[in-house]
A and B are shown apart, each in its own frame.
Chain A
Amino acid sequence: MSGAAQVTKRAKYKISVKDPGTPGALRMNDQKLMFMPDNRNSGAKLVVEFKSIQGHKYTKEGSNKPPLINLANAQGGSYIFEFDSYADLHVCRDFVSKVLEKSKETPNAALEKSAIKLPDEQLSEEEMQLRIKLLQENSELQKLHRQFVGGNILTEAEFWAARKKLLDIDPSKKSKQRVGFKSAMISDIRPATDGRTNKVTFSLTPEIILQIFAEKPAVHRAFLNFVPNKMTEMEFWTKYCRAEYLSRTKNYHAVVAEAAEDEELAVFLKEDDILANEVRKKIRRVDPTLDMEADEGDDYTHLPDHGIFRDGTKESNELQSEHYRRTLLQDLNRHAAVVLEGRTIDVEREDSTRALAEALARSKRGNEGADNNANEERLDRTPRVAEIEDLQAPHCLPLAPLSIKDAREYFDSQQANTLKASRDAQASMKCSLSKQEAYRSVRDAISEIKDMGLSDPIVNPEVALKVYSGLTHNISSIKYHLGKNPRETVLDRLPSATKEKLLYHWMSIQELLKHFWSSYPITTPYLYSKVNRLKDALSNIYPQLEEMKESLPADLRHQVSLLVRPMQQALDAAIQHYDADLQKRSAKSGEKPNGYI
């Protein structure tokens, strides 16, 4: 029943709920509903389009009320129908809701259909949504779109190609820049201490966690292994912070004791074996020509106390325990190495710490493969960058000398072009004066002026005055017509309908001209067909403008024609250019009428 295109039920039409109602038959289809009363003469016949129906209400089944459906229309009135049974009501109700839903979609559906891209354009879902949104928000854009794309003058791609800027506003489409690691060592977390309650609070943000994972690969590995199998994230971080706190207290015995108790805590306190491995690998990769042994004799920094005699009797014996003491220098160096390597993970994209850890592990595995190449590159680059400045050659890029080309070249070539063009055009002036004749005529003119002298005054004063007053009158009359109010523009004096039409015409002309001029010079047949389409559209605008002018009363016609004239001039220029170009190409390509190059 739900798939039926039409529903017919017996119902009573009521004007209000209390009305006893006129019995009859209610028929509904996709477009409208019709009510035919049993009594043909009662005059309660009703035909209502679904377009005017805004919503519907109905009585619930369990209540004691009779089965009613109330259709509200746009003007605020309502049609109430009472059915024989609830089953009928349900059927009608479903049908009505279906039709109403479909009609709501129609304005969008039309847009969507036209906005659905041609098969040659790959559009993502978001881009289509963005386009539809832009069209809905901007009514001008919608009008243009409907006129041109709907009228098959422009294709969808061309229309939007001119509006790249609007489409780019969507921030998720722009290539997001990544922020590098901070130079500050935020992985060195310090707690906030509360003197009253003797509690220390560590705060960890995802940024800090990422740095901790990057700088301490053993902690990273521990996280991946322990969470969520052995402990929760909270417990993991609590242990980590405890380890940090302990190692900072420099209370060695406490550290050893705690490490012995808690195996996981020991992981945080021990030496980072992954790092140690990496360092060993790096040492093996050092340039073999670098002799590290030979330097050792010169190296005093590793002697105790830098080779300076010092009285060490007062110092206590430090326990050499297996627990590693990280020095500040090692921390700094490790942090610097991590920062310089660069960042490949965006913290905001990962939801949980687990995801972050996994992403980091993935990127590290990816990097391992590229290691060899990177090493060679690095070996290559280091000597280049590490050169001492004073020993380098002066680094000056050579400047380009000024060479001004002879301007006659350009003018000569232009003249050749125009001569050729004029020769191709019909009936050019037949100027076949020889040099002697030209010289003779110039000489005659000069001698004539010498005899007669220039007329005094050069310009006839009456004529001059007439011209001058005519011009000023023209200018002042325009200013007079525009009125004294500077804020009132010319458009405001016209009735709003005319104004709308003018602006609409102007906008469509601008759009067409933009596309027209951007397709020159024509290099592909596609552009050629596009230009033809545009030219036809442009020629169609002339009669529209004329029509608009004629529909106006006489006093406004002058104003509007002044406004319309520049538009017509622009159209003329475009069509002229088209004709000239066509002529040129047909002259060049001879017999090929299609203009294929």
Chain B
Amino acid sequence: EDEDDNLGLEAWERSYADDRSWEALQEDESGFLRPIDNSAFYHAQYRRRLRTTARIQKGLIRYLYIVIDLSRAAAEMDFRPSRMAVVAKQVEAFVREFFDQNPLSQIGLVTVKDGVANCLTDLGGSPESHIKALMGKLGCSGDSSLQNALDLVQGLLSQIPSYGHREVLILYSALSTCDPGDIMETIQKCKESKIRCSVIGLSAEMFICKHLCQDTGGSYSVALDESHFKELIMEHAPPPPAIAEFAIANLIKMGFPQRAGEGSISICSCHKEVKVGVGYTCPRCKARVCELPTDCRICGLQLVSSPHLARSYHHLFPIAPFDEVTPLLNDPRNRSRSTCFGCQQSLLSSGNKPGLYVACPKCKKHFCLECDIYIHESLHNCPGCESL
């Protein structure tokens, strides 16, 4: 009878009925509720996210188009408040994260509505303009068309230089596609143009999406709920491994502009206004630009600053995953190593029992779980190795 009852419940109701989340609550000495210790759970999640540390090429200069499906199916309410709203919010977060991790790359947005694909924004490096354009145009109707979207993106990506990595991320809510021709031909063309297509589905797995992703070397995943969707989309932020036949090694000319002096006044080339002080001068044509990274409007040189390159560097040389340490209870060395090297907090959990912690394979320093996550995901440098 239990099963019959459960069939009528929604997913969120089941988390109460089945998982009995109230049993995980504990009270401390004074009767207040103790905060639930989720650290082990997050740590397990993070371990799943760790990738191999083999030395492989990654596409650092990415040209990514995000295709958002705004067909009738995007108005479905199984993702609260609606699929379209959830997608828009996560795309905003993704765009910011993407530019954080890939400062040399560019994003463009495409929407599919009424069976036709439209280019919402062109390839550009400024997150604000993309987000503003997206939030302004959220309305859904009609059918969605995979072939039209792929055709449009392929046309737009054919103009970028050969050292860039071409990618498409399709956020697909519909269960069907309304195409004017043979979609297999389009997939073949994408493969020849070396475009890596990935799809995140919101409803169910579709053969054509799977076939597309397999052929072009992308990844296909279907989201179960809002948080899962967020995880899946954030997986696309770090640069993907480069496929051997697509990767071409080239020397790329870049400019490292100097910051304009405090008192310099000039008319900037992006806004046609007079700006004082804040800005950079292109080393080749001496035009003034307001922010980096960007392409110089006058001479077309790619302008970056060294921190941007440094942010891309750590993708190529990731830190080795730390080893989990199972402490021996009677180990005399335990007393000396009882604090985390990163945050100096005690590694012993409640009741003087040693909790779970990790150690760096190179410098052998111990770290707690939170520091482990922080070092691998944000810091990208091991404090123990750097301090030697």
- Residues on A close to B: CB < 8 A? 177-183, 342-344, 381, 385, 395, 397-403, 405, 410, 474-475, 478, 482, 489-491, 502-503, 506, 510, 513-514, 517-518, 562-563, 565-567, 569-570, 572-574, 577
Contacts and interface: CB of A to CB of B under 8 A. Distances in A.
A478 B276 contact: yes
A395 B151 CA distance: 25
A537 to B, nearest CB: 15
Q: How large is the interface on B (under 10, 10 to 19, 20 to 34, 35 or more residues)?
A: 35 or more
B266 A177 contact: no
A199 to B, nearest CB: 31
B176 interface: yes
Given A177-B151, A563-B267, A397 B178 contact: no
Interface string B240-268: 01111101010100000000001111110
Interface stretch (B82-90, B126-134, B284-292, B379-387): B284-292
Interface in B255-305: 262-267, 269, 272-274, 276-277, 281, 284-288, 297-300
28 contacts: A178-B180, A178-B181, A179-B114, A180-B178, A180-B181, A183-B176, A342-B180, A343-B181, A385-B211, A398-B244, A399-B56, A400-B241, A401-B54, A401-B56, A402-B55, A402-B58, A403-B57, A474-B262, A478-B263, A489-B273, A490-B276, A513-B285, A513-B287, A513-B298, A517-B300, A518-B300, A566-B267, A573-B284
A381 B179 contact: no
Contacts of B179: 180, 342
A474 B177 CA distance: 65
B285 A574 contact: yes
Interface in B176-199: 176-182, 184
A183 B243 contact: no
B109 interface: no
A344 B180 CA distance: 7
A572 B151 CA distance: 45
A569 B269 CA distance: 14
Contacts of B152: 177
A412 B266 CA distance: 37
A570 B244 contact: no
Given A517-B298, A569-B286, A400 B242 contact: yes
A276 B244 CA distance: 51
Given A518-B300, A570-B285, A399 B143 contact: no
Nearest to B56: A399
Contacts of A179: 114-116, 143, 145, 148, 178, 180
Contact of B299 (A178, A403, A405, A513): A513
Contacts of B269: 510
A395 B214 contact: yes
Given A400-B243, A513-B287, A517-B299, A563 B143 contact: no
Contact of B262 (A397, A475, A566, A577): A475
A566 B281 CA distance: 10
B93 interface: no
A566 B287 CA distance: 8
B116 A399 contact: no
A94 to B, nearest CB: 49
Nearest to A574: B285
B102 interface: no
Contacts of B273: 489
Task: Report which residue of B262, B281, B298 has the largest number of chain A beta carbons within 10 angstroms of its beta carbon.
Answer: B298
Contact of A570 (B181, B247, B287): B287
B251 A410 contact: yes
A475 B263 contact: yes
Contact of B56 (A402, A405, A510, A572): A402
Given A510-B297, A566-B286, 5 more contacts: A178-B148, A344-B180, A397-B245, A399-B241, A403-B57
Contacts of B266: 563, 565-567
Contacts of A385: 184, 211
A342 B151 CA distance: 15
Nearest to B283: A573
Contacts of A489: 273-274
Given A399-B243, A400-B56, A181 B178 contact: yes
A385 B273 CA distance: 58
A182 B178 contact: yes
B55 A182 contact: no
B274 A563 contact: yes
Contacts of B176: 183
